[in-house]
Homo-oligomer: A and B are copies of this chain.
Amino acid sequence: MLRSLLQRGAVTTNHKNCWIVIRIDGKGFHKFCDVHNFLKPNDERGLNLMNLAAVHVLQEFNEIVLAYGQSDEYSFIFRRDTSVYNRRRDKLISYVGSLFTSAYIFNWRTIFQDTLELKYPPVFDSRAVLYPTDQNLRDYMSWRQADVHINNLYNTSFWNLVASGLTNAEAEERLRGTLSSDKNEILFKEFNINYNNVPVMFRKGTTLMRKKVKLTNDKKLSLIVPIFEDMIDDAFWTRHPEILSGKSDSTDCYELGDNKEHVLIRYQIEKHNKRRPGAEVSL
């Protein structure tokens, strides 16, 4: 048993017991968003299509304990001790990347119905990153979430300035060297926007986790739920101890609250019901 701890000579990609993060990134999505007229600075449908594709990935891989998406990227975190595909780099990178791509296109109509046609095939690259300690993983998650904050505050300010008549160059010039507080003030004073009231998905990104939810028939159903919380504080990790411990309290139910009608939840309930005619459930 101990012997298996020792890695034999060959350089393996995925050192046993490291957290494995597979991150996919949209390729040329600036152009892709333009061609498909996605709203700026955020297109809710576009983001939810990303989220829906990610749900497919979590449904396929039980050993993903957490996923996090923002803009045109998504990170999938595999359990420390996962042995899926023997932790082979090629397999994990290509399978997650292909499945995400496939689900993104397959669900295009789920999100856009007939209002928007897919003009050309979108592409995502993917990469593997390994983190030895829990703190390394938390630093990574914080880094990605800090990224969405910085970008979104900038973009919200930028596109409001453009909407108010400035050219792109003028808006860029206006924001050069500004601090977060400056941008908050521009938004508030000039556009009457309290940044804290911007939809939380735009400000925080989307975290996906597997949770048990209570049905109207008092039974429980395991769903992949969208969570919009700050992951930089300790509180998040205390509230969801199963991420780092690898053990979930099987009796607790997660309260969906306002998210009962979220497109990701509706999608999963409908799919569940379609497979069990006569035994439909509801939240």
Contacts and interface: CB of A to CB of B under 8 A. Distances in A.
A94 B127 contact: yes
A25 B2 CA distance: 18
Interface string A35-75: 00000000000000000000010000000000000000000
22 contacts: A2-B140, A5-B131, A9-B91, A10-B10, A10-B89, A11-B12, A11-B89, A16-B132, A17-B132, A17-B136, A90-B125, A90-B127, A91-B125, A94-B127, A97-B98, A98-B100, A98-B101, A98-B126, A101-B102, A102-B121, A106-B118, A132-B132
B94 A97 contact: yes
B106 A106 contact: no
Contacts of A97: 94, 97-98
Interface string A72-97: 00000000100000001111011101
A123 interface: yes
Most buried by B among A6, A88, A139, A140: A6
B98 A2 contact: no
The 4 closest A-B pairs by CB, nearest first: A102-B121, A132-B132, A2-B143, A106-B121
A102 B99 contact: no
B15 A15 contact: yes
Interface string A100-133: 1111011000000000001011111111111111
A95 B25 CA distance: 10
A80 B100 CA distance: 30
Nearest to A100: B98
Most chain B beta-carbon contacts within 10 A, residue among A15, A16, A136: A15
A18 interface: yes
A202 to B, nearest CB: 21
Contacts of A5: 131, 136, 139-140, 143
A3 interface: yes
A126 B94 contact: yes
A216 interface: no
A268 B163 CA distance: 40
A93 B93 contact: yes
Contacts of A7: 129-130
A13 interface: yes
A101 B122 CA distance: 10
